[in-house]
Structure 1
Amino acid sequence: MWAVHGLCAVDGRLVLWAEDSELPARVAGRAPRGPVSHPFAVPGEALRDALAGEQLKADSVRLQLPSHPSAPAASPELVRDPLTAGPAPRGKLRLREWLVPAVSCSPAAVIALLDEGVPGCRLGASAHFLRSVAGFAEQVVSQGRVLPSLVFEADRPTARWRPSLSGTDSARFVALRESMPPAFRCERGDPPAEVLRAALDTLVDGIARARVADVKMPGGRTAAAAWLNALAHEPRFDGDPKKTRKLAGQLDAWRASGAGESPVRTCFRLHEPAGDDADWRLEFMLQAVDDPSVLVSANEVWREESRVLQRWVAQPQELLLADLGKAGRVFPALDAALLVPHPTELFLDADGAYEFLTHAALLDQAGFGVLLPSWWGRTQQLGLKLTATSSGTAGTVAKKSGLGMDAVVDYRWDLALGNERLTESELAELAAAKVPLVRLRGKWVQVDRKRLAAGLAYLERSGTGQMTAGEVLLQAGVHPEDGDRPLPVVEVSGHGWLGDLLSGQAEQYLEPVDPPEGFTATLRPYQRRGLAWLAFLDRLGLGACLADDMGLGKTVQLLALEALARSHGSRAPTLLICPMSVVGNWQREAARFAPTLKVHVHHGGGRLIGEDLMEEVGGHDLVITTYPLAARDSAVLREIRWDRVVLDEAQNIKNSASRQAKAVRGLPARQRIALTGTPVENRLAELWSIMDFANPGVLGSLSTFRARFAVPVERDADTDAAARLRRITGPFVLRRVKTDPAIISDLPDKIEMKQLCNLTAEQASLYQAVVDDMLARIDNSEGMERRGLVLATMSKLKQVCNHPAQLLGDGSPLPGRSGKLLRLEEILESVLADGDKALCFTQFAGFGGMLVPHLSARFDTEVQFLHGGTTKKARDEMVRRFQSEDGPSIFLLSLKAGGTGLTLTAANHVIHLDRWWNPAVEDQATDRAFRIGQRRDVQVRKLTCIGTLEEKIDRMIEDKKALAQLVVGSGENWLTELSTRELRDLVSLEAEAIGE
């Protein structure tokens, strides 16, 4: 595995280099005086080929890196196989120069590579930092805050684009400077600000140059024409030295006339009136660019009392006067302040204050500091509030007629400020106000008089009436700027069952529903409330997203809903779509908890198609298939009348443009349900895809959703947009988390789950080959030879179930070849998303060594591995770090080395990657987390390959435990005493074992 790093070289090049965990870590002999090649750096040509970048150039750089006497220290992101890496170099660390092969990248190439990631690689802190700088550069260019310049590089005139940072940009520049990792400076000893400036200048120039490359520049042979062409093409150009230097001087003067860069800038602070005072006060100050919290009032500037000013600027009074003159171009009212010899403040009436507030953003962009009253950023919007009243309560919906989406309800529109309804007297006060700023209920608010008049007219025209419940829900889902209303809808509420739904907390108020007779699971209180909520939406025909945390029982709640629905009368079948890795889980959980449900699995090469499938599913209650087959067989699945379509692990359709997402959205059904523990993994667009499946159109089109929700929330952290999105989705999403005390109290101390996984085709082929080899040899062996053959075969089959690369031992890549590894990744993804920690046990130290670099790259995080070769000192340090709050979140342990004697209560997830046939050994390992000191409930998952000896032996152990509480002997020795026929039945591969 590689660790990729980034930096900006002395000459302004953007550089990537990488370390390779497979290359030797030591330098032979004594270190020479001069720099030598980095012993485990990836060759430049190999890195260029791996990155597949057309604009990359193999290069080399001299880097000052922390080093042991014999080798450079490996970066924290470099993960070596713990079993083959050998002892770490020893000796005191010091900086030493190394010659490192690298690639030089254009800004566009850097952005593309770091955005998409590099398969099989972890990005180092310096590479992440370079991407952050690139994002800053993109924003600066996109918002037009760049200036063209003319500089001389190697005595040749050169055209460059340079950033022109505003006040907000300066603060971000400082934040980036403070967060710069040391590795980003390892090629140059300059201060962080200079290194960051060089990187930002390079990125801004490259991005801006690419955006104007197609712009037709003026012709001619003048110095100005040559310079303009160089801004879009080759930056260096030839020109008359005298004329180009004159042009450079003119450009410097032009830039200096604007808000130039300085360690200090003028800042304006607006104070609202105190008591009965009618005047607003605009205070003038000087503010440090590097530390915006350092402020000096204009009074101190004129009295020359501030020692801070003496360090900032030589002539602060002249700076203040000059800045006031420049700011007057943006906010002309400031010109009045220049009529006095020592301006310190400006008094404004309400109209003037409002004008300043609306010009604040322009002043900020011009480079000035602006401090506004805290309420301005949270200005409450004037909008419409809809209240609907329905008869009946949620618990009695099924017993009453005229309820549901077509029920007619009474409604009333009101004007509201934020979420507070305005009284008639307050409306009259607002209507009489003649200024846009009004004090209401002790707070200053902004009122748009045109919008107020339009709102009042709307109330007079359509204030009360009747509409259907479906239309009310549509009002909750329509964007505020859509429709024929003059104001946005700030709240939709109701009374009765409709109010319960609109509250977004309906499950708290619903009467719990008991599952029907024959349903064998005992539902916990929160699961009964979840069932009631699902049944409530089922009766209304509305889609649902059950987004409970992993381990809270989404499967059993859905099965209870199916059993309840069938108990009320026959229905069309339900189609359940899930990942291949959990098909077996669903099949067995249905047989266990809802044995009355007739289940059909639509999977495999011999699956029914066409009319045969349509006839077959008519006699079943639940049809289970996978996402790839739902896409492949979408034509016939669309012809079937489904009562309900359910998506398990619904994040599989997070890419709305994917083939399988389009296929499942096209399936007809009376109701749709999405089950997922992670409704949003990376981007809000994933939530749109899930919600558009459950209730098509509720969030509008994807482009509209991005413009109105995704961009404001993700880029600008817009809390209003986030609140509006929660209001729209709230009625249809039920989310419970393990950290909720009301849920925790309902859970047992330890939850054990069997996670059934499928084999890939490669695994199945290897599995069958091992079985055939054993059966061909076993009849001709006896005694110790036979026992040895059986044990060797069992070990090989368990390795196949883990991963083909473990059996083959060929160092081949891991991704995409093991159903068990796929399931492990899905579990860990959810664990990390919840901020939890996990212990992963395997009886094969070699398999653990293979997983460490793979999981480190897959999740870009540190993975610890404890095995038999770990020293006591290293073992104690691993435990200490894992137990710390900011320690690693994934801990791999070999079962023998880590199964006893450790306290690892920081983990609340335990995953057994391969099964030990003695349950007591597994329980001992689980107790590393489930012991005194554990404050959270522990979820234990045992990964078992379906249709293989793993599942069959597990079944035998469960049968013995159930019958006589027998304890199976240590290890697998008891298996050697089985007859040949029993062995054949045990190891034979069943058809359902093979995934897709």
Structure 2
Amino acid sequence: MAGDAPGAGAPRTGGRAPGAEGVRAVEAAAAVALTGIKPGAGVGGPGAGVRGLASVGRAAGAGVGGPVAVARVVRVLLPSHPSAPVASPELVRHPLGAGAAPRGAVRLAPWLVPALVVPAAVAAGALDGEDVRPGAAVRFLGRVAALAEDLVSRGRVLPAIAAEGAGPAARWRPALSGADSARYARLGEALPPALRAEQVDPGLLEGRIGEEVLRGLLDGMVDAMVRARLVGVRLAPNGRFAAADEAAGALLRGLVGDPSLVAAPERVRRLTGVLGTWAAGAEHNGPVRACFRLRPPEDTEEHWRLEFLLQAADDPSVLVPAARIWHGDRGGVLRRWVARPQEVLLTDLGRAARVLPALDAALRERHPVGLDLDTAGAHDFLTRAAALDQAGFGVLVPTWWKPSSGVGLKLTTTSRGTAGAVSRTSVLGRDELVDYRWDVALGELTLTEEELRELAEAKVPLVKVRGQWAQVDRRRLAAGLAFLERAGSGRMSVGEVLEVAGLPADDETFGVPVVGIGGSGWVSDLLAGRVENALEPLDPPPGFGAVLRPYQRRGLAWLAFLDGLGLGACLADDMGLGKTVQLLALEALKRHGERRPPTLLICPMSLVGTWLREAQRFTPDLRVHVHHGADRATGEDLAGALGGADLVITTYALATRDAAELAELTWDRIVLDEAQNIKNSAARQSQAVRGLPARHRVALTGTPVENRLAELWSVMDFANPGLLGPLSRFRARYAVPVERHGDEDAAARLRRITRPFVLRRVKTDPAVIDDLPDKLEMKQLCTLTAEQASLYRAVVDDMLEKVAESDGIQRKGLVLATMTKLKQVCNHPAQFLGDGSRVAGRSGKLARLEEILEQVLADGDRALCFTQFAAFGGMLVPHLAARFDTEIAFLHGGTPKKQRDRMVERFQSGDGPSVVLLSLKAGGTGLTLTAANHVVHLDRWWNPAVEDQATDRAYRIGQGRAVQVRKFVCVGTLEERVDTMIEQKKALAQLVVGAGEGWLGDLSTDELRELVTLSGEAVGE
């Protein structure tokens, strides 16, 4: 690794290179390059460049047993002007003397530069630090390390004997073939010239050979990674090494310990030959490879045809049939890759015969071009196709082929009427019986009884059904037929149908997996998600105090439909789309019909007043009782007070405290507003609420999933108890596959079973609402002050020192506590220190906030500023009030209800302050603050769903102006890095899961260091 050492030294033969660039030399295939070492102080002394290299050397040794990097001076070839090397493109430019850059023709010239020799095994992760700016060579090294890690994780490695300076050594080497070979070839093409810059011969202007450099790097990394995984493992000889047992034992010991191979030279040579033969069968590094294409028989043919071709490894679209190869490759398609394609074809056929023995017959021909196979032989080829591909050969199989059986069961249900025809007053539900019929399917085909009999009589695994070839698993076919005999048709409950809909794709509860559910009637509409569109939009009864939008009328019809069936509902519309008015319209329908027990509505305390006012506004005839306060009714008084009520409003806290009393009363419906409050199913509050009895249940939430899928289970288990089964089974079937592995099939199954009971509309969908103004979201990158940077580094250093000595819950708690501290430092030093010190001039975020608010107030606009730290908001209020000589409102968890309501009313009316600071938890839900057209997130919650909820206080129905949303991020800090991670994971988050911050506690020490280390661009001027 060559260091930058610009200075006034002697060129070519002595001293350091004047102006030498950082991406320079490779020493013995294990050195790497970097840029950005500060200029040296001349030839004689250890300048900053050399000191920088030494610091990197110490970093490279951290965690691997001490310093392993060696600083030295090497001779490298650099593109040069007559007086100095050409500057690297990555290097931050510095003035040169009077500002005149070197001029003259550019040519290669040798220079002596300081370099750092780093073993390839540790180089990939060793170059972090504020004095190091990675160049092209270091970034390339990361790509090589990624390939090595991928090969090792898939077991694509082989033992080998390497000839090294001290004698033969046991090493692990990559086994490249197929796509891995193509990836390796692309790396070879992208090798930065700097990695070949070492001058091999002092008399020649030639550098190292690129293939040697790349191979040395990859081999070194693979060997180190495998050894790291085999720590504490003892390898034992097996039959493969029986002919060379002495050398074999030494090899196995060397593969997990000291690599030196001490054995008789003859035995070592023999073992080297054995390993070479093994490697030849597992590797394929050539530019051209054999490819096999299977063609089914035509109508008049009896045999399948396995065609032989040659395929370009780096361009799989280039295919040349063997017949053309034997006739001289007319057109010369392969000439750019290989001179003698016939030899490649024969060699590869011999190698492939080890995987597919049937190829031996083709090798007996003089010019093999293909092989005829019967049906059993074709099936044998198809089952071995993956092994051929893994061995490095091209494989082209028919599009219908799937390694797993296509045999499955299809369920068809028939229920009374469509969704739109089912009466809202019918007493149906999960216990309603529907007609059903099971069928056996093969892929997309539903088989008839005659076809099933023919398949049962067939003796081959590949059959042709309705003109299409398919694989038949005879075991599954027999199981499917047996199941049809037991339960081919009959009646089952809706609950049983829903249970079938939620079965995983590989579940064989019935002996065969269920591959489809269809039918006619309302149950089929429900499972297919057609209910909302199948229902006629429903108007509220006369006297309702609002005109519903079209999507709200459809939502009301959906709620009423499920209400009539006795099935729970989760209305998950975007914040601001009017969940409250839809629920009140449903209540108005109930009051307009037959007399029923009251509805219990549970909401956060901050929303009690909102619900009371909205009920009085839209449903003035609805008798509303608020169960809240120290003087609330209890016992018989409570029963008497509720006797004349239609709607009872209480809070989650009181519902938990008074759960026993509330459970003794009769409720027609229980509604949870902001239902994410029961996301922790094990919490006492969640258990108490789910335990309250009612005929019908409704959950209202804009974020049914904030952090984990278990939260969705808790909400759905409230709405329809037992729908998703016990939590342990839900985790195994859905949560683990989706959250850990991004399993889209599991996510699709989960959507299928929950879709009938979850109605989700977003305000950005023009089909839902087309009169909302634009929302402009932007990141505001802020820098730290010098004081903030100093505090940040101190917190990081303290954590890294302590985290190495802790584990388990203690370690996770330490990490999460540190993340909170770092976010406080990014906000303001005074918040972190808690010393009541001055606020002005000490925070980059505060400076940017002042700039934004100055413009907002000058334009006569209004702004909401969210922070997750109430203490930070308390610091800002007096400072901003003095800075702008205006009132600043502050809404937080301790704000009394009456004061909160008055604050919202004044802000909305335009009489109150133009700026409101809000704590995210207290002000992020349930409020309508559409008077604001600016939203500022001062610190990130690291959960897009929660931030969007807060933004929706302003961006909702009633907003008439474009809304500008600014999210503050301190550049070069953990805020920026976590923000990047969140953006990368948004695709999965939008699938079914959000993103919290608890995962930070599970990061390794190296990952934590990378996450929290302060970058050079973090500090402002």
TM over 0.5: yes
Tell me if the contact between 1:148 and 1:161 (Cα under 8 Å) persists in the aligned partners: yes
Tell me if the contact between 1:409 and 1:467 (Cα under 8 Å) persists in the aligned partners: yes
| 1:361 to 1:601, Cα distance in 2 relative to 1, 3 A | farther
Partners of 2:699 and 2:78 in 1: CA distance: 54
Q: Note the C-alpha offset of 1:275.
A: 3.5
Q: Note the C-alpha offset of 1:302.
A: 1.8
Matches within 5 A, 1:394-473: 394-395=419-420, 397=422, 399-473=424-498
Equivalent residue for 1:297, pick from 312, 321, 331? 321
Equivalent residue for 2:701, pick from 666, 672, 675? 675
Q: Note the C-alpha offset of 1:430.
A: 3.4
Tell me if the contact between 2:177 and 2:390 (Cα under 8 Å) persists in the aligned partners: yes
| 1:732 to 1:441, Cα distance in 2 relative to 1, 3 A | farther
Tell me if the contact between 2:34 and 2:135 (Cα under 8 Å) persists in the aligned partners: no
Q: Note the C-alpha offset of 1:233.
A: 3.3
Q: Quick one: which amino acid aligns to residue 600 of structure 2? A: P
**Structure 1 equivalent of residue 234 of structure 2:** 216
Equivalent residue for 2:944, pick from 801, 813, 826? 826
Larger RCO (CA within 8 A; separation ≥ 6):
1
Q: Note the C-alpha offset of 1:852.
A: 9.4
Matches within 5 A, 1:889-900: none
Tell me if the contact between 1:35 and 1:98 (Cα under 8 Å) persists in the aligned partners: no
Q: Note the C-alpha offset of 1:284.
A: 0.5
Tell me if the contact between 1:35 and 1:97 (Cα under 8 Å) persists in the aligned partners: no
Tell me if the contact between 1:148 and 1:162 (Cα under 8 Å) persists in the aligned partners: yes
Q: Note the C-alpha offset of 1:460.
A: 2.8
Partners of 1:759 and 1:587 in 2: CA distance: 28
Q: Quick one: which amino acid aligns to residue 495 of structure 1? A: S
**Structure 1 equivalent of residue 286 of structure 2:** 262
Partners of 2:435 and 2:172 in 1: CA distance: 62
| 1:102 to 1:668, Cα distance in 2 relative to 1, 3 A | farther
| 1:225 to 1:800, Cα distance in 2 relative to 1, 3 A | farther
Equivalent residue for 1:348, pick from 373, 376, 386? 373
Q: Quick one: which amino acid aligns to residue 403 of structure 1? A: L
Q: Note the C-alpha offset of 1:484.
A: 4.3
Tell me if the contact between 1:547 and 1:733 (Cα under 8 Å) persists in the aligned partners: yes
| 1:217 to 1:493, Cα distance in 2 relative to 1, 3 A | closer
**Structure 1 equivalent of residue 514 of structure 2:** 489
Equivalent residue for 1:573, pick from 600, 604, 611? 600
Q: Note the C-alpha offset of 1:501.
A: 0.8
1:150 aligns with 2:150: no
1:286 aligns with 2:304: no
Partners of 1:429 and 1:377 in 2: CA distance: 21
Partners of 2:209 and 2:640 in 1: CA distance: 73
Tell me if the contact between 1:27 and 1:71 (Cα under 8 Å) persists in the aligned partners: no
CA offsets per residue over residues 49-104 of structure 1, 9 Å max, x none?
A: 9xx9788969699999999999987799xxxxxxxxxxxx9999999999899999
Aligned residue for 2:511, secondary structure, equals coil
| 1:302 to 1:553, Cα distance in 2 relative to 1, 3 A | farther
CA offsets per residue over residues 437-474 of structure 1, 9 Å max, x none?
A: 23323322222334333323322321111121111111
CA offsets per residue over residues 412-432 of structure 1, 9 Å max, x none?
A: 112223354333444344345
**Structure 2 equivalent of residue 766 of structure 1:** 875
Partners of 1:726 and 1:170 in 2: CA distance: 40
1:857 aligns with 2:966: no
Aligned residue for 1:453, secondary structure, equals helix
| 1:266 to 1:8, Cα distance in 2 relative to 1, 3 A | farther
Q: Note the C-alpha offset of 1:760.
A: 2.8
| 1:734 to 1:571, Cα distance in 2 relative to 1, 3 A | same
Partners of 1:297 and 1:420 in 2: CA distance: 34
Tell me if the contact between 2:60 and 2:123 (Cα under 8 Å) persists in the aligned partners: no
Scaled by the length of structure 2, the TM-score of the pair is 0.60
Q: Note the C-alpha offset of 1:208.
A: 2.7
CA offsets per residue over residues 143-176 of structure 1, 9 Å max, x none?
A: 4322112224553544332222342444555677
Partners of 1:673 and 1:16 in 2: CA distance: 58
Scaled by the length of structure 1, the TM-score of the pair is 0.61
Q: Note the C-alpha offset of 1:229.
A: 2.3
Aligned residue for 1:215, secondary structure, equals coil
Q: Which runs of 5+ in 2 are unaligned?
A: 1-21, 93-98, 199-206, 238-243, 777-861, 891-912, 921-935, 956-960, 988-1021
1:167 aligns with 2:190: no
| 1:793 to 1:261, Cα distance in 2 relative to 1, 3 A | closer
Partners of 1:636 and 1:133 in 2: CA distance: 63
Tell me if the contact between 2:429 and 2:565 (Cα under 8 Å) persists in the aligned partners: yes
| 1:599 to 1:356, Cα distance in 2 relative to 1, 3 A | farther
- Say what the alpha-carbon RMSD is for the aligned residues: 6.7
Partners of 2:686 and 2:434 in 1: CA distance: 36
Q: Note the C-alpha offset of 1:270.
A: 0.6
Q: Note the C-alpha offset of 1:327.
A: 2.2
Aligned residue for 2:360, secondary structure, equals helix
1:229 aligns with 2:253: yes
Matches within 5 A, 1:787-936: 790-791=885-886, 801=917, 821-822=939-940, 826=944, 856-860=976-980
**Structure 1 equivalent of residue 401 of structure 2:** 376
Aligned residue for 1:209, secondary structure, equals helix
Which moves more between the two structures, 374-383 or 454-463? 374-383
CA offsets per residue over residues 358-406 of structure 1, 9 Å max, x none?
A: 2211222222211011221498822222122222443465544441111
Q: Which runs of 5+ in 1 are unaligned?
A: 20-24, 77-88, 775-787, 805-817, 864-885, 890-996
Tell me if the contact between 2:865 and 2:917 (Cα under 8 Å) persists in the aligned partners: no
Which moves more between the two structures, 705-714 or 762-771? 705-714
Q: Quick one: which amino acid aligns to residue 573 of structure 1? A: L
Q: Note the C-alpha offset of 1:332.
A: 2.4
| 1:854 to 1:227, Cα distance in 2 relative to 1, 3 A | closer
The aligned length equals: 789
Q: Note the C-alpha offset of 1:598.
A: 6.2
| 1:721 to 1:168, Cα distance in 2 relative to 1, 3 A | farther
| 1:149 to 1:542, Cα distance in 2 relative to 1, 3 A | farther
Which moves more between the two structures, 298-307 or 219-228? 219-228
Partners of 2:160 and 2:214 in 1: CA distance: 19
Partners of 2:660 and 2:873 in 1: CA distance: 32
Tell me if the contact between 2:33 and 2:194 (Cα under 8 Å) persists in the aligned partners: no
Q: Quick one: which amino acid aligns to residue 329 of structure 1? A: R
**Structure 1 equivalent of residue 502 of structure 2:** 477
Tell me if the contact between 1:64 and 1:98 (Cα under 8 Å) persists in the aligned partners: no
Q: Note the C-alpha offset of 1:269.
A: 0.3
